[in-house]
Structure 1
Amino acid sequence: MFAVFGSVHPAKTWVWAGALVWMGAACLWNARRCGRRHCFWTGPYFLVMALVVLTHGYGVVDLGSQGWKWLGGMIGIGALGVIAVTERGGKYL
């Protein structure tokens, strides 16, 4: 995702969406395999963020001129927040 940060719409949109789908699927698979609590939350979070990236990339939702920076921050800080909150009560269900 960092590698295409300065590129134009089609490449950035599809690389970001693909990376988020990959991370979301990996988290959900890991949740099923080992039961880590945060994986049950980060998996769907990354998949929803992939949809947000696609809608912003194709102009359905306008996040302004700094939209990609907002998305990057939202993805990173949101994932860390989900992990921090869900790991407080124990790592496993």
Structure 2
Amino acid sequence: MSGGSKRDLLGSTRSAVLAWWLPIGAMLLTIPLPDGPKTEIWLLALSWMGGACLLNARRCGRVHCRYTGPFLLAMTLPVLGHGTGLVPLGKDGWLWLGLATGGGTAAIWGLSERMMGRYR
């Protein structure tokens, strides 16, 4: 195991669940909720995951975390805009936000580590 991988939060099931899987689960559980609570939970979840990514990038040099962290934090802006009605995205707005968040994160993860490796 390399030095980076020993400190990688994704290397521990417990850390990965706390940092990413629980917030993702919370976001999914909000599907039937009204916009107010959904917005609050999504903002908390995205901020938590983005912060965890930035922490992980600093801890172990995980490449994708350097990019997914800022991306997840940036996704709070369209979520806030749609959730407050300032940027109406239509009846499928939450679906589009979820797809953009999940798809963007997956693309950043895959492409960044394919091009630059797992740790730096």
**TM bracket, shorter-chain basis:** over 0.9
2:78 paired with 1:52: yes
User: In angstroms, what is the RMSD of aligned CA positions?
Assistant: 0.7
Q: Give the gaps of 5 or more residues in structure 2.
A: 1-26
2:62 paired with 1:36: yes
* Structure 2 residue matching 1:2: 3-state secondary structure: helix
What is the CA–CA distance in structure 2 between the aligned matches of 1:54 and 1:5, rounded to whole Å?
16
1:36-83 Cα deviation digits (max 9, x unpaired): 110000000000001210111001111111100000111111100000
- Paired positions, count: 93
2:52 paired with 1:26: yes
One-letter amino acid of the structure 1 residue matched with residue 52 of structure 2? A
For the pair shown, the structure with the greater C-alpha radius of gyration is 2
Q: Give the gaps of 5 or more residues in structure 1.
A: none
Superposed structure 1 runs of 4+ greater than 4 Å apart? none
In the superposition, the TM-score normalised over structure 1's length comes to 0.96
Return the structure number with greater relative CO, CA threshold 8 A, min gap 6. 1
Partner of 1:10: 36
